[in-house]
A and B are shown apart, each in its own frame.
Chain A
């Protein structure tokens, strides 16, 4: 059974840092893109970042660029999100999601085929 389980959320002050982890099991982790998606309280889903299979290509939403870093350890089947310079508006449940989709003709078309239950990050003084 495919499982992704997030951890590392908590309360942090504005300007602080936090590192989220996502432990994957039930599939060959090293062959799948992985993503982070977040949901602020009372709001919808928003894509944050993605990483390719071997940690060479990363992509970010503009609102986290330069502050967040996505990475992975394929030997440990674990995805990470290092979050620095946190702001109140970063308060959200952060979901780890396995990438589905395909690549063709130099373009890739990714969606999310398995999700975790999320970990809550609260940025407040």
Chain B
């Protein structure tokens, strides 16, 4: 099973600032990496797939990068609606499909 590790667990950021979230895989997942945004009580939302392709309707301030075992999600200028928990997920080697533990982006 591929273990996904996200850091930091919590990220405190002021609105308008940049946020950088990391995701590491225990072995290479090529570019088969997705990012999701999840707000409490709501449906999770696909942001990025293929490590760097934005899903339909996702604003350009969300950028995914990386390949192999190291990945990054950057939010260039945080808006109020971006405060949420973010998960990475590998889909290269499965079952099982595996998620990271999440990074909570909170208001500083």
- How many chain B residues sit at the interface, stated as a range, is 20 to 34
Number of interface residues of A (CB under 8 A): 24
Which residues of A are found within 8 Å of B59, using beta-carbon distances?
none
CA distance A97 to B91 in the complex (A): 14
User: Would A44 and B95 count as touching, CB distance under 8 A?
Assistant: no
- A110 in contact with B97 given A44-B87, A44-B102 (CB within 8 Å): yes
Q: Give bound CA distance, A124 to B43, whole Å.
A: 25
The dominant DSSP class at the B interface is: loop
Q: Which residues of B contact A35 (CB under 8 A)?
A: 97
* Interface status of B98 (Cβ within 8 A of chain A): yes
Q: Which residues of A contact B89 (CB under 8 A)?
A: 45, 111-112
- Is the beta-carbon distance between B92 and A115 smaller than 8 angstroms? no
A residues at B contact (CB < 8 Å): 35, 44-47, 50, 59-62, 95, 97, 100-101, 109-118
Contacts from B to A (Cβ < 8 Å): 32, 34, 36, 38, 41-46, 49, 55, 87, 89, 91-92, 94-102
